[in-house]
Amino acid sequence: MTGDGPVVGQAAVDQLLEVLDLEQLGAASFRGISPPVGPQRVYGGQVAGQALVAAGRTVDPERYVHSLHGYFVRPGDPAEPIEYQVENVRDGRSFSVRRSVALQHGKPIFFMSASFQRAENGLDHQAPQPPDVPGPDEVPTMADRLARYPERLGIWSIIPRPMDVRYVGEPGWVRPGDRPADPYQRVWMRIDGKLPDDPLLHACALTYASDLTLLDSVLSVHGEVWGPGGVVGASLDHALWFHRPFRADEWFLYDCWSPSASGARGLATGRMFTRDGRHIASAVQEGLLRRVGE
């Protein structure tokens, strides 16, 4: 953090790497911290990424994570360390399954099941990426977007930003009335620096990123926005499937849409594609969504 604004670029990436580098307390227990500057509650992508780090450190590195399913049960306190307890559910010939629980003050704030698989060959197909989406160099940067809405800066003006995030359409935090209804929320993303060549670390970074804009797609259907004059919300659960090898420090398109919203909850789905069109991951999340003041 400097007096000129938030930590960005490689400095922010290095800070993220520190957050993901858990302290090992025992064979299956770890401790994580939050960034020194952040929101009032722990960002969901952070705790999910850290839970995956903990789980992955108990698995043979020749087995790669292919799916995770997690529930957010309590808000996390960023001022307090988070303890992660990992249960070895099963080690089979091809798959390993782990349950990772994040604890603060002796109570779970998040729990996750994650499955890891040794590399195998098999059938291979994918649905095509969406056509005619402008590339990351053809859409505004986050700095360009934020400059148009100084009154909406809020936490964005001080938190570290390890991700380069470029919205194809309007973000969920623009002024009320400035966001047309759109069935899709599409965003280009990448880690804004260089990551080590560790597949687990790239999977954890992608997990971190996957919670950033997914629920925006629920609001996008209605032309709604976050914050004053709009909606407040929180992630309830999160599922992620990893399909093909990737690097989280290279551009990927996060193509999100919402099939349903009701009962103050919204369901969001997302697909991630590399610039050359490879489908690398899929995400599904349900969130709590309430109008401000309700």
Residue by residue, pLDDT tens for the chain (294 residues) are 344 567 788 999 999 999 999 999 999 999 999 987 666 789 999 999 999 999 999 999 999 999 999 999 999 999 999 999 999 999 999 999 999 999 999 999 999 999 999 999 999 999 999 999 999 999 999 888 888 888 776 656 666 789 999 999 999 888 888 999 999 999 999 999 999 999 999 999 999 999 999 999 999 999 999 988 899 999 999 999 999 999 999 999 999 999 999 999 999 999 999 999 999 999 999 999 999 876
Residue 82, domain member (yes or no): yes
Cβ distance 252 to 274 under 8 Å? Answer: yes
Residue 223, domain member (yes or no): yes
Residue 129, domain member (yes or no): no
Residue 277, domain member (yes or no): yes
Active site residue 235: yes
Q: How many domains does the chain have?
A: 1
Domain containing residue 95: CATH number: 2.40.160.210
Residue 176, domain member (yes or no): yes
Cross-strand bridge partners of residue 281? 242, 272
From the candidates 85, 185, 217, 285, which is the catalytic residue?
285
From the candidates 46, 185, 235, 258, which is the catalytic residue?
235
SS3 readout for 41-88: CCCHHHHHHHHHHHHHCCCCCCEEEEEEEEEECCCCCCCCCEEEEEEE
Active site residue 285: yes
Q: 229: domain range?
A: 9-118+136-291
Residue 126, domain member (yes or no): no
Q: Model-level pTM?
A: 0.93
**pLDDT the model gives residue 4:** 59
From the candidates 211, 216, 217, 258, which is the catalytic residue?
211
Active site residue 144: no
Which residues have CB under 8 Å from 132's CB, separation 6+?
A: none
